Amino acid sequence: MSIRPSTMPKTLLTLLFHHLRTLTTDSALPQLASPITPVSPTHLLRVCTVLYQQQEAPESKLHINLKRCDFELTHEFFLQVCNKFPYSWRPVYKFFQFTETQPHFKHTPITLNKMVDVIGKSRNIELFWEVLQEMGRRHLVTDQTFRIALKTLASARELKKCIEFFHLMDGYDYCYNLETLNKVVETLCKSKLVDEAEHIVTKLKDCVKPNDVTYKYLIFGFCDVGDLIEASKVWNLMVDEGFEADIEAVEKMMDSLFKTNRFGEALKLFQSMRTKRIDDLGLSTYRLVINWMCKEGKLGQAYLVFDEMQKRGIQADNMTLASIIYGLLTKSRVREAYKIMEGIEKPDINVYHGLIKGLLKLRRASEATQVFREMIKRGCEPTMHTYIMLLQGHLGKRGRKGSDPLVNFDTIFVGGLVKAGKSLEATKYVERVINRGLEVPRFDYSKFLHYYSNEEGVVMFEEVAKKLREAGLFDLAEIFSRYGEKMATRERRRNRALEP
């Protein structure tokens, strides 16, 4: 990039020399990494206060007050201002107008992308479109700009503008590009905007011909929203155009079929892959099929697939073995499950979860808690899911009315919800005390543990564990005690991070 010294202040040239900072002017070349200048919180607060309080003021008055703030205008400062107003376009755009009056400051694709994202989230489509055009004129458009632009326009159902944006950028020398289109389609599909993504692909076919990657993202998108009919149509279209589905698309389709109880169709697809493209089948595909077979209680079929995988020289990982362990336990083949467990050299969280989940299904909560203890002893840290499984195993998904009023479900959980300020959630569980015949909704242990994942929770869980031990419920006490210790450790880590 060439920079004309005659148009640049001397101080800025010095800054460029010392920090190797490249400011984009008339090209969209990648920028060199530069140290981030620390932003003064006091100056940031002062500027944001002025922007908020005087966002409706005349431009000249606002600019005078901003100059009085006496702050250092940098790219990082501009980004921080945008972060303070994530859904409010006016203060951000007013600040942008102010920066345009500062001769030493030049915007980059990063700063403009940040601003246009805020404008898009505030749904000011008219201004959003104007800024996009200005970015095109300045040649500061990147793939991220395309992602932001298309996601915003698609969310607002501005489908005509979605297509027009590609044509507009082509006029600014950003030629139609398949890689860019695929990135846009990926973004839209991940945002559950797959219908809009398909519309864009169809309308741009004459300018940008889609490839197998494009169709893969569309298949992913339709599967994620549960529309397997449209996913199948895209699949067939892809095959008709001579493309072969990659293994990720195959696995996604199979997984979606399994999730929607279309077990036969999923296995039919798997069988076709075994017949026509067996060399493409790897560990991930076998793991997926074995996992679902074990969940459905089809242990015999799971073993056949497992044997085929091993004959092909594919080594089973811990996730696959965890599925087999769970499948054995659902058939009450406990000894075989433990035998596989003992043969695993380095069991991880997946293996322990498979064992715990299977034991809980057999209503062997005490044995599952012993596995929990062994897991901790061997250095495998439990996750939130571990605690939720164990609590459900001991107390049930709908809670349990214990004999001791100090430690029963109502006291610990319903009372805990009230203490956490969640009285509305607690009322539906209190109703069962009033009306024993009432169907009690499933208790959300995840939310409960989340409410007390703080310093207050540390004390609360210690108290609960103490009462549970007094009542003889040692397994349940162990679970609460361990979770309380985990929260205490996390609080100490946070405090250390905050210390100067």
What single string gives the DSSP state of each residue in 365-402?
A: HHHHHHHHHHHHHTT----HHHHHHHHHHHH-TT----
Give the model confidence (pLDDT) of 402-450 as tens digits.
444 544 555 556 555 555 555 555 555 555 544 554 455 555 667 667 6
Higher pLDDT: 11 or 62? It is 62
Any idea what the Cα angle at residue 371 is, between residues 396 and 383, rounded to 5°? 70
CB atoms within 10 A of CB 70: 9
Task: Give the span between the Cα atoms of 185 and 206, in whole angstroms.
Answer: 17
Output the pLDDT for position 11.
42
Residues ≥6 apart with Cβ < 8 Å to 451:
416, 417, 420, 422, 457
Instruction: Look over the chain and give the mean of its residue pLDDT values, rounded to a whole number.
Output: 82
Which phi and psi (to 5°) does residue 333 adopt? Answer: -95, 65
Quick one: which H or E segment has residue 439?
none
Give the model confidence (pLDDT) of 215-256 as tens digits.
999 999 999 999 999 999 999 999 999 999 999 999 999 999
Give the start-to-end residue ranges of the domains of the chain: 1-26+38-140, 398-498
Give the model confidence (pLDDT) of 173-219 as tens digits.
899 999 999 999 999 999 999 999 999 999 999 999 999 999 999 99
For 402, the token pair is 């214990």
Give the model confidence (pLDDT) of 121-176 as tens digits.
999 999 999 999 999 999 999 999 999 999 999 999 999 999 999 999 999 989 99
Percentage of the chain beyond pLDDT 70 is 77
* Separation in Å, CA 19 to CA 26, 194, 243: 21, 43, 48
Output the pLDDT for position 450.
67
Output the pLDDT for position 387.
83
Tokens 């703030």, located at residue? 69
